[in-house]
Chains A and B, each alone.
Chain A
């Protein structure tokens, strides 16, 4: 701790900070632009000027930039010295010389950091009488709108895009007072984190293009804390709505999970909520050859309940993308022995491995933030930038940690961004990525290794054996494999905080088990390795924590062996899970097919009864991310009429079926309590977020800002009578602008705003320390416990060495951040960036098959013959062929498997 003096008052602060960071953490309002808590200081904008004094007697002092000045013992500064106030005002004046009078038409208006800083410094009057410089804008793709005239050259965009996100197709161009930020040639920004530019940019140069399609001022948005539903990381978001249309997704800071950033899939994948493809009314088909007809909820419930009388067996198929509560209610409805995980048996096994392995040996599950602090990372089988984008972004920062260490050895502060980079040069991360194909993280890794999934597993097992003789050994390793094993184990051996990352992308349980073995093998008296498993969906892990009777094939088989009156399918398109023939057969055979979902899909189209399910934006629920963190999402706006939250619909169904136990679940909180009682792992789940009864002293927490306009005018086109405000009976939030406007518990923060801080920078006021945890603790509850002292039970099923027969290739799934996920692809911008279906081959394999780019090739899968255009991928391992996972038109395949590839004869 050191003592500094600000405005003549002493403050005790942590060592090593710069004055801007320290001042803001203490609550002082110091203006700034180029500094960013996640990117450190560069001293470019000169806005954060303060006066520094040598000692108490020094009355003159000198102007220094707070962000570039260390806060050391004895440092004395004044923030409101008249000379420095004048200087800060001048900085705004300079920035305003060329800034256009766009506020009324600028998307940023009302949440603009430049506006806030202008007001803060007190600059008002324009004395510049000359022409302003203007620029031509570029087309940057479907996500970002470009308006360069507004640029104040703070350089944040290029620093984020290049240094944090690793993007290379964007740069600062030109010189002096016509610096331009853009691309060499206009075109879609490549990098999948580009959307963060809209929050990084302190003015309206980079704005959310999709938001423009249905623009609303920030103060007119109704917002609530939410969770991204497009992958298993559970990034925290703030979603905003007006007039029943979900308008945009913004980052919600969580120190341990996503920090300041989101990926583009999470930011722009929301449009399915507004899609024309939404199911908005209950539907019924009397005969399976009929078109479905809309019916009242009462009719639909009665028809469904008819299958449930007299203890008839109901098969319940849950979903890894539905909330815990919805899954739980289905489990209650069907009974645990009839409740199935809505994924293939094989995938369920993998998810169960992700749940069980952490408890089977001495490891820790790091937070995503802690992952960034690892001093060595071994990624086995995952294409992180596509399967867990924000984790990949965090791991990029692992190199930064290394760089900071190198810099601090030279007495350079870690926040001195440019200096740290100068010291680090192109140091690579202590990272090995072993996968079937190259990844966008390869540029920071010191080692990469390519192999087919089974061989990746063998590699992993061998590394574990090299680290701990007690781990099972691998026979018949090739020389190359032995060399790789030696390199990787050497890389991991003398580290303090190693991390092993694996997941379900390879479709191979052995890969995950091998990863666990490596993590166990690294345990020592003063070291516990981190182990993280990437699972594909927002509640894969949640579903994995629940009791299920098996996966889909097991469910289908149970119909044959035990029969059923009906199947209730929760938010799940079975055709994405297992091959179509199996699903067809099952759905044909079940007497009644009842489906709850948001959007029309192939499964919905086979249903006898369809219940429109509320999305994350229209319902409350809990999801569990890959850290095992249970997180609560709150609905943004009242559930539209005739749509119901799935958990509530299932409850209504049980009530209609006269199930007496249904009376207990009269509220969401009651469901949560019941869930807590159902299984030890969920026992504390009620504290994920405060329940409905929780009130602040001024009342509930308003979803609307106190400037929210048009409250009584909305809806006058329907009726001039002022509607009663909709009550939220499920949470401490209100669909209102009245209530408590201060610092609610972090899990309930609907927006970051403080007086004078209308932009995303208001977050500063909510953190216990800038860039640190939220005041009151970051939300969510870690469910999975690990024990660093437990003795490892090594996995022993090592795949045998396989030699492929002629013309056979290992088939893998290749993941695309844009396209592999079911819901986000309904956003036009994401659909635009989704690749067309293809079959991928390495250049060598393609040549051997006499195939060039675009030729059609065929593979045989489970009796089906699939023809696809060839894509040649230089980064794909030889003997491996890949299909893009989850794309429309791509058949579902059980992996791992081998296929023959043949060139299609052209007609």
Chain B
């Protein structure tokens, strides 16, 4: 059930670690990159490929917050809610996002565009508040900027 591309990507990981089990997290990230999230079926197929049981792989998948075990939208917003961003205006930012997108944390917009999730310190505290959308980092946020940024995503 894994695509050939996914298998190829996972296989390149094998040589980098002493044991096959170590590739588990990376494999999950790989299939998530292709599919957006990790469904039960995806998890089972990935586990089988790694000679792990789905329980073993799920124990790892559910530990890490970057592995999504529920469907997400086309774009995942990760807004930093840690101390400096909070000092610098996080609450205004999140209120605005909630209003604009009409969803709360853990939810996806009805058109499937955005999923909204909180995130820990993004490590750019001198440019707080900050957020990431997919792999893109946005710093020095204000309400206007947020609107512009959101508009850039389909």
Asked if B6 CB lies within 8 Å of chain A CBs, one says no
Q: Is B91 an interface residue (CB 8 A)?
A: no
> Are B63 and A184 closer than 8 Å at their CB atoms?
no
Q: Does B58 contact A (CB under 8 A)?
A: yes
The reply to whether A168 and B53 contact each other, CB–CB distance below 8 Å, is yes
Residue in chain B with minimal CB distance to A183: B55
Would you list which residues of chain A between 161 and 183 have a CB under 8 Å from chain B? Answer: 168-175, 180, 183
A426 within 8 A of B: yes
Q: Identify the interface centre among A173, A175, A180: most chain B CB within 10 Å of its CB.
A: A173
Interface residue tally of chain A, by bracket? Answer: 10 to 19
Q: For B47, give the chain A residue with the smallest CB separation.
A: A184
In the assembled complex, how far is the CB of residue A793 from the closest CB belonging to chain B, in whole angstroms? 47
Judged by a CB distance under 8 angstroms, whether B56 is at the interface is yes
Known: A184-B43, A426-B19. Is A173-B59 also a contact (CB below 8 A)? yes
Among residues of A, the one whose C-beta sits closest to the C-beta of B40 is A185
**Is the CB–CB distance between B55 and A171 below 8 Å?**
yes
Assuming the contacts A184-B43, A185-B40, A426-B19, asked whether A175 and B55 have C-beta atoms less than 8 A apart, the reply is: no
B 56-74 binary contact with A (CB < 8 Å = 1; else 0): 1111001101000000000
| B65 cross-chain contacts in A, Cβ below 8 A | 175
Interface of A is mostly: loop
Q: Is the CB of A175 within 8 A of B53?
A: no
Return the chain B residue nearest A168 by Cβ. Answer: B53
CB neighbours (8 Å) of A168 from chain B are 53, 55-56
Chain B interface mostly helix, strand, loop or mixed? helix
Nearest to B54 among chain A residues (CB) is A184
Alpha-carbon distance A169/B56, docked complex (angstroms) = 7
Residue ID in chain A nearest B65 by CB atoms: A175
A184 close to B40 (CB less than 8 A): yes
Q: How far is the CB of B118 from chain A (nearest CB, A)?
A: 14
Q: Which residues of chain A are within 8 angstroms of B63 by Cβ–Cβ distance?
A: 173-175
Which of A168, A171, A172, A183 is the most central at the interface, judged by chain B CB atoms within 10 Å of its CB? A171
- On whether the beta carbons of A173 and B58 are closer than 8 Å, the reply is yes
Point out the residues of chain B lying under 8 angstroms from A173, CB to CB.
58-59, 62-63
Q: How far is the CB of B134 from chain A (nearest CB, A)?
A: 23
In the complex the two chains form, is A184's CB within 8 Å of B55's CB? yes
Which residues of chain A are near B58, meaning CB under 8 Å? 171, 173, 184
Which residues from B are CB-within-8-Å of A425? 19
User: How far apart are the CA atoms of A827 and B56 in the complex, in Å?
Assistant: 31
Assess the A169–B62 pair: CB atoms within 8 A: no
Interface centre among B19, B43, B44, B55, by most A CB within 10 Å?
A: B55
- Count of B interface residues, CB-CB < 8 Å: 14
Chain B positions 44-99 with a Cβ under 8 Å from a chain A Cβ: 44, 53-59, 62-63, 65
From residue A24, how far is it (CB to closest CB) to chain B in Å? 31
- Interface flags for A107-118 (1: CB within 8 Å of B; 0: not) read 000000000000
The residues of A that contact B43 with a CB separation of less than 8 Å are 184
- In the complex, what's the smallest C-beta–C-beta distance from B65 to chain A, in angstroms? 8
Shortest beta-carbon distance from B35 to chain A in Å? 18
Task: Please give the distance in Å from A338's CB to the nearest CB on chain B.
Answer: 56
CA distance A184 to B58 in the complex (A): 6
CB distance from A113 to the nearest CB of B (A): 25
Assess the B54–A185 pair: CB atoms within 8 A: yes
Nearest B-chain residue to A178, judged by Cβ: B62
Q: Determine if A174 and B56 form an interchain contact, defined as CB atoms under 8 angstroms apart.
A: no
B19/A169 in contact, CB under 8 A = no
Which interface residue of A172, A180, A184 has the most chain B CB atoms within 10 A? Answer: A184
Interface residue from B19, B40, B56 paired with A171 (Cβ < 8 Å): B56
Contacts of B62 in A (CB 8 A): 173-175, 180
CA distance A86 to B63 in the complex (A): 32
CA distance A168 to B52 in the complex (A): 8
Contact with A along B10-47 (1 / 0, CB 8 A): 00000000010000000000000000000010011000
**CB-contact partner of B55 in A170, A174, A426, under 8 A:** A170
State the CA gap A172–B60 with chains docked (Å): 9
A866 to chain B, nearest CB (A): 35
**Complex Cα gap A891–B30 (Å):** 52
Min C-beta distance of B87 to chain A, whole Å: 24
Contact residues in A for B44 (Cβ distance below 8 Å): 184
Report the minimal beta-carbon distance from A146 to chain B, rounded to whole angstroms: 14
> How distant is A766 from chain B, measured CB to nearest CB, in Å?
36
Contact B40–A172 (Cβ < 8 Å): no
In the assembly, what is the distance between CA of A185 and CA of B39, in Å? 12
CA of A185 to CA of B19, assembled, Å: 26
- C-alpha gap A851/B142 in the complex (Å): 69
* 15 intermolecular pairs with C-beta atoms under 8 Å apart: A168-B53, A169-B53, A170-B55, A172-B59, A173-B63, A174-B62, A174-B63, A175-B63, A184-B40, A184-B43, A184-B53, A184-B55, A185-B40, A185-B54, A425-B19
User: Could you list 11 further interchain pairs (A-B, Cβ under 8 angstroms) beyond the known A170-B55, A171-B58, A426-B19?
Assistant: A168-B53, A168-B55, A168-B56, A171-B56, A171-B59, A175-B63, A175-B65, A183-B55, A184-B55, A184-B57, A185-B40
Nearest 8 pairs between A and B by C-beta? A171-B59, A184-B54, A184-B58, A171-B55, A168-B53, A184-B55, A173-B62, A174-B62
